[in-house]
Chains A and B, each alone.
Chain A
C-alpha cells in the first residue's frame, strides 16, 4: 500500500520534467552522433585526398629533375663532313633548292653523332677511351638530334666547341637516382655492369648530374628517346580542344538556356526537351565518343586524332552542363528585376539582355568554366576517335594529329619502361591537376567578384 501511494504521490510535474530531460538527452545525443558522423565523413574524404596528393606528388615531383651530362662538345669537321649548307643560287627554282637543302639536312642527320658524343666524354676523361663502344649508351638517343638541331640552326658551329647540356639515357637516369634496386644481380638489371660503373664514376666527378629539367614542358612525347618525352604536344592538343569547346559549347549552351528559361512557352514539348537535357548530362562520356567516331569521322570525314574532332565530341558532352548551370543562374535572378524592367516599358529581349543576363553572368561563367574543366579531364571519348595515338609532333593547328593531357597520362602508364615512366606519369598528373585547380580557382574568383546578394 505504502508503495502505491508513493507512486501515485509522485509529483506529476517532476515526472514530466524527467521525461523532458530524458528526451532532451536523447536529442542531444542524436545531434552529437550526427555531428560526429559528419565530421568523420569529412575527415575520411580529406584523408583520401591527402593520400592521393601525397602519393602523386612524392612520385611525380622527382620527374621534374633529370640526369644530364654537361659537356664541351666539339663539332668535329672530320665527322661532320657535309660542308656548308647550300645557298640558293639565282637561277635555281625554290623546289630544287628545297631538295638540295633536304639532302644536306639528311646528311647532317645521318652523320655519326655518336662519335661526337663519345669524343666529348673522352676529352673530359681520357681513361674512357677503352670503353668507347659503351659510352653511347649513356646518352638518350634524342641527344643526337639535339646536336643536329644546334648545327642546323648555326652551321658555323662546325669546327668549333660549345658547352651543351644533354639528357642522359632513361635507364642511366633510373640507375643514378636509385629508382631500381641497385643490389639486384646483373641478370635482372637493364644496364651492363660496365655502363653502370662509368655512370657512377661520371656522377662522382659531377659530369653526370641530376638537374631541374624543362624537357617535360618543351618536348613532345618520344618513344625512341624516352628520357626526352614531354607533355608539350599533349598540352597543345588539350588547349586546342578547350578552345573548340569554348567557341562551340559555351555560346550554344548559353543561347539555348536563355531561350528555354526566358522565352520558351511552357508546354509538353519544352518539358520533354528539358527532361532530355537533364538525361544527356548523365550519359556516360564514352557514348559521346562512339557518337563522335561515327558522325564526325565516318560521316563528316573529319581527320582522325585531330583536336578539332576531340573538341566537337567534348562540346557535345559539355553542352548539357552549360545549359543546366546557365538556367539555374538565370532562375536565381529575382523576378522583381524582370517585372520592374517590364513595368518601365522594356521589351522582353531588352529585359533579358540588359537586366537579367548581366546579373546572371557570374553564375554562367562559373558553370562554363567548370564544364570546360570537366572536358579537359575527359579521356574515354578521345580514345575512340584515335587521340590515343603516339604523336611526336607538337600540333600547331586543331586539324593536326595530337593527344591530350589525360590521354598522355594513360599512354605513359602503359609504357613498358615502368621504372622511368611511373614518375613521368605522376608528373603529368600533377600538371593536369594544377591546370584543373587554376581553372576552378578562376571560377571561384569570378563568382566572388561578381556575386550579388538580394
Chain B
C-alpha cells in the first residue's frame, strides 16, 4: 500500500512539473557563442547582475558558429537572446535566421581582439612573417617555380632566423571565429597566390593540429609537445605569460597599443548579435547592451581591457550605441 502511495506521489510531482513548465516566463537573458567573447561577456553579465535589479544573464559558449546556429533557431523563450561572435554574421546565417522567423538581428561591435602566435616559454623565440606560417602549414608550397609537397620539417629550413625546432602548429578548428581570421590575415597574406583554395589546403602529416575546444586545450598541447607553436587570443596569452612566449609578426609585438593602432596585423572585431524580437519580452536586454557599451565597462581602463580586450575608440563607440538605439538591422 505504501508503495502505491509513493507511486501516486511521484506521478503527482511529475504532472505538476510538466504543467508548471510552459507557464514559466523566462526573466533571465540567455547568451551563447564564441569562446573568445565568453570571458568578456561573462564579466559584463556578472557586473550587470550586480548593478541592476535584473537577473544575471547566463552566458554559454559553443563557438561563434554554434552560438549563431542556436540564435537562428527561432523566436521564443527557449531560444537564446544574444549570440556572441568573433566574426561577422554570414549571409547564409542571416538567411537561416529569417527562415526561422528571426528578422530583427541587431549587430553590436564592442571591441577588438588580437590573435597571437605563442610557443612554450622554455623554447626558442619566434620572429614570424605571414609567409613563414604559410610555408609551415600549406600542403603544397612553391619551390623553384613549381608547386611541390611541403618539404619543410623544421622552422630553420624555412628561414635561417627561425629557431631550429620541429614544425608543429596548433590552430583553432573551423568552429572558431579565430580560424577565419587566421586564414585570412596570416595564411592568405603569406601565400600571395590567387588560388585561395590551394593556399588554404593544409598539410595532413600530423604537423598541423586543429583544436575544436578552447585555448586551454591548445596550451595543454604546447606543454605536451614543447616544440609546438599555438594560436591564441591576446587575452589568453596575457593571463598565461609565465608559460607562453609570444611571437612577433613582421617584427611587431602584439600589445593592446599595437593592435589598437592597427600596427599589428592580425586582429579582428568582436561582436554580439541581439535578437530584436526579444527586446521587451525578456527583461533587461536593452539595459544589458547599453551597459556593455558604456565606457566604464568596455572602454579604456575597464576590467575587460585588463583581461585583453582592445576597446573601441570614441567614434566607434558612439556609432555602436547609436546603431543599437536606432535598431539598425543587419542586412545581407
Task: State in angstroms the CA–CA spacing of A110 and B240 once bound together.
Answer: 31
Task: State in angstroms the CA–CA spacing of A305 and B31 once bound together.
Answer: 11
Produce 1/0 per residue, A386-412, CB < 8 A to B.
101111110000111100000000000
Contact flag A110-B51 (CB < 8 Å), given A188-B241, A223-B46, A416-B236:
yes
Produce 1/0 per residue, B206-217, CB < 8 A to A.
000000011111
With a cutoff of 8 Å between Cβ atoms, the chain A residues found around residue B32 in the complex are 386, 389
Task: State in angstroms the CA–CA spacing of A413 and B58 once bound together.
Answer: 19
Q: Which of B71-79, B196-204, B320-328 contacts A (4 or more CB under 8 A)?
A: B71-79
The chain B residue sitting closest to A421, CB to CB, is: B216
Contact flag A308-B21 (CB < 8 Å), given A247-B14, A414-B216:
yes
| A180 pairs with B39, CB closer than 8 A | no
The chain B residue sitting closest to A403, CB to CB, is: B58
Q: Is residue A380 within 8 Å, beta carbon to beta carbon, of the partner chain? A: no
| A393 pairs with B56, CB closer than 8 A | yes
Q: Is residue B121 within 8 Å, beta carbon to beta carbon, of the partner chain? A: yes
Which of A223, A300, A357, A399 makes the CB contact (< 8 A) with B3?
A357
| A414 pairs with B214, CB closer than 8 A | yes
From residue 19 to 40 of chain B, which have CB atoms closer than 8 A to chain A?
20-22, 24, 26, 28, 30-32, 35, 38-39
Q: Is residue A165 within 8 Å, beta carbon to beta carbon, of the partner chain? A: no
From residue 170 to 204 of chain A, which have CB atoms closer than 8 A to chain B?
180-181, 184, 187-190
| A418 pairs with B58, CB closer than 8 A | no
| B303 pairs with A251, CB closer than 8 A | no
Produce 1/0 per residue, A251-288, CB < 8 A to B.
10001000000000000000000000000000000000
Contact flag A392-B216 (CB < 8 Å), given A224-B303, A400-B28, A416-B240:
no
From residue B11, how far is it (CB to closest CB) to chain A in Å?
8
With a cutoff of 8 Å between Cβ atoms, the chain B residues found around residue A308 in the complex are 17, 21
Interface contacts (Cβ under 8 Å), in number, total: 132
Contact flag A418-B21 (CB < 8 Å), given A188-B241, A304-B30, A392-B46:
no
The bracket for how many chain A residues form the interface is 35 or more
Task: State in angstroms the CA–CA spacing of A401 and B49 once bound together.
Answer: 14
From residue B40, how far is it (CB to closest CB) to chain A in Å?
9
With a cutoff of 8 Å between Cβ atoms, the chain A residues found around residue B58 in the complex are 305, 389-391, 401
Q: Which of A12-20, A101-109, A123-131 contacts B (4 or more CB under 8 A)?
A: A101-109
With a cutoff of 8 Å between Cβ atoms, the chain A residues found around residue B42 in the complex are 223-224, 390, 392
Q: Is residue A145 within 8 Å, beta carbon to beta carbon, of the partner chain? A: yes
Which of B56, B59, B216, B307 makes the CB contact (< 8 A) with A418?
B216
Produce 1/0 per residue, B47-90, CB < 8 A to A.
10111110110111100000000000100111110000000000
| A416 pairs with B215, CB closer than 8 A | yes
Q: Is residue A298 within 8 Å, beta carbon to beta carbon, of the partner chain? A: yes
With a cutoff of 8 Å between Cβ atoms, the chain B residues found around residue A109 in the complex are 50-51
From residue B218, how far is it (CB to closest CB) to chain A in Å?
11
The chain A residue sitting closest to B38, CB to CB, is: A390
Task: State in angstroms the CA–CA spacing of A306 and B28 once bound together.
Answer: 12
From residue A118, how far is it (CB to closest CB) to chain B in Å?
16
Which of A300, A302, A416 makes the CB contact (< 8 A) with B235?
A416
With a cutoff of 8 Å between Cβ atoms, the chain A residues found around residue B238 in the complex are 190
From residue A72, how far is it (CB to closest CB) to chain B in Å?
25
| B61 pairs with A399, CB closer than 8 A | no
With a cutoff of 8 Å between Cβ atoms, the chain A residues found around residue B49 in the complex are 392-393
Looking at B14, B32, B60, the one whose CB has the most chain A CB atoms below 10 A away is B60
Looking at B7, B240, B242, the one whose CB has the most chain A CB atoms below 10 A away is B242
Q: Is residue B123 within 8 Å, beta carbon to beta carbon, of the partner chain? A: no
From residue A151, how far is it (CB to closest CB) to chain B in Å?
14
Q: Is residue B226 within 8 Å, beta carbon to beta carbon, of the partner chain? A: no
Task: State in angstroms the CA–CA spacing of A105 and B54 once bound together.
Answer: 12
| A416 pairs with B39, CB closer than 8 A | yes
Some 7 contacts from A to B, beta carbons below 8 A apart, are A106-B52, A223-B46, A248-B10, A298-B78, A301-B76, A303-B24, A418-B243
Residues of B bordering A, CB below 8 Å: 3, 6-7, 10-11, 13-14, 17, 20-22, 24, 26, 28, 30-32, 35, 38-39, 42-43, 45-47, 49-53, 55-56, 58-61, 73, 76-80, 121, 213-217, 219, 235-236, 238-243, 303, 307
Closest 7 CB pairs of A and B: A389-B60, A223-B42, A392-B56, A224-B43, A390-B59, A251-B10, A390-B42
Residues of A bordering B, CB below 8 Å: 102, 105-106, 109-110, 141, 145, 180-181, 184, 187-190, 222-225, 244, 247-248, 251, 255, 297-298, 300-305, 308, 353, 357, 386, 388-393, 398-401, 413-419
